[in-house]
Structures are given as structure tokens and as C-alpha cells.
Amino acid sequence: MLITSNSSTNNIDVIQRNNVKISGQGNQAIVLAHGFGCDQSMWSYLLPHLESNYTVVCFDYVGSGQSQLSLYDPERYTKLEGYALDVIELLEGLSMSSVIFVGHSVSSMIGLLASLKRPELFASLIMVCPSPCFLNIGEEYQGGFEREDLEELINLMDKNYIGWANYLAPFVMGTGHSEELTTHLTNSFCSTDPTYSKPFAKATFFSDYRHLLSESKHPCLILQSENDSLASLDIGQYVHQHLPHSSLEVIHATGHCLHMTHPETVSVYIERFITQQAKK
């Protein structure tokens, strides 16, 4: 697949801006989008399982990883729509369309937002441990967290950023996994400047996109961890129930990072989903 930069995207060099890395081979492109506090290195465990059959695109959102921090716009990135625009501009800049978008955690909703705005750029969505809203909202919806608790967690970023990272990473990763994985996630949290990570945290944890689930037009595979402290099995089932054209696969696992802890299993489900869609 020949991929070139498209200067029509406001003259933005998305390859530089979003630290785009392209690997693998195949006519079908898969775009891997990392979650909050992470960067594209989190996909390194899954990449070897995809590169033999697909062209794989990894990137960092502006403000994360090795992206161009000089292009960070404080107003744009106060909402997930700003990160969705990163995705759209990236695909436009690479002259890509009909991609399979794999989003971890909050990137599941970012992918949904981007696909609703520019549906022709996407063939299907794959959501890894998604949540449309992390807040508990009365009896109608239990996202897992009270607003006060999340506000306290985010305020901790100002008081003790390293302590915040050392607390959150093991909580997100879950129990029973190697120290290497938890350390990888902790280091990612620690390496992100709170100037950029705090607005992303607020956009992630205080947003509510439940109302948009029913508008999705693309086939979607939901991969849900059986025991996830950040986005519970109930949330995965909620997304499945409200997202048209979706299928749900529950993986016997703990933690919120299935692509890191169970990459082979995740790759099997992705391959099966893509094969099924190709037959339709």
C-alpha cells in the first residue's frame, strides 16, 4: 500500500505532528489509537500479531508520547472532539479511507466521534474496554465513579504527579500481570507533562457520549475484560446494547489493557471479526 502525505489537511505534516509509524503489509489498514496517559508504545505487544497481514498505523495524540508539543492547542484538547480531529486529519494527511480503527479505552469514543463526522474514512470500529461515561449518574447509569472521587484523583496530579501515576497505573493494569507491564504503563503516565495530561484526563473522565452510541453506522467489535476496575463488564454490555451493528466478546482477564496483557487473544478476535466482515 502506497501511503503519501496530503498537503490539503491545512498544510499539517501529520506524520511529524502525531509521530506516525507505519509498519506491516497488506491492503487493509488498521489504525491503533492509544488511551489516556499512554502512547503508541502500548501497542508493541499486539503489533507482531497484525503486521504480517495488515498495514498498521500507530500514532500519538498531540500532547502524548513523541508528538509535536508545539502544536498543542489548549482549547482544542479540552474535549474529545479535539482528539477525534487528530484522527481525521491523520487519515486525510495519509490519504487513507475505509480503515479499521482500534481504540483502547477513551479512544473507543474518540473513534466513534471521528467515524460519525467522517464515516467514509472508516470501515469498522474495534473498541477495547470502552466506556461512554465514567460517571455514576443517578440510578439510570453507573459508570463506576462518583464525580467527587474523580475530581480528587485529578487534583492529585497537581499535588503529587508521581504519586498519582504510581497509584493509577496498577489500578488500570489490574492484578496478576508482570511487573514489566505495570512499569511500562507507570512510566508512560510519569513521562507525560500534566500540562497536557490533565486536560486529557478531564475530557476522558467527565465526558458523557452515551447519546451518540445509537448513531453509529459502522460494524463494531467490543473486546471487554471480564474483570476491569476502570470499565466494568456491565459497561461493556451497556455499550453493546446501545451500539447498533456491534458484537461483544468477553475475555477471561483482569485489567483494562487487554492489548498489553492478552495480545494474542485480542489478535484472534480482531482477525475473526475482519474475516466475518469481509464475507458480508
Active site residues: 105, 228, 256
Closest by CA to 152, choosing from 101, 201, 203, is 201
C-alpha cell, 190: 510519569
Q: Is the distance from CB of 147 to CB of 246 less than 8 angstroms?
A: no
CA distances from 227 to 129, 233, 242, 275 (A): 10, 7, 21, 28
C-alpha cell, 95: 490519504
H or E element at residue 20: none
C-alpha cell, 36: 489516556
φ, ψ for residue 107, nearest 5 deg: -70, -15
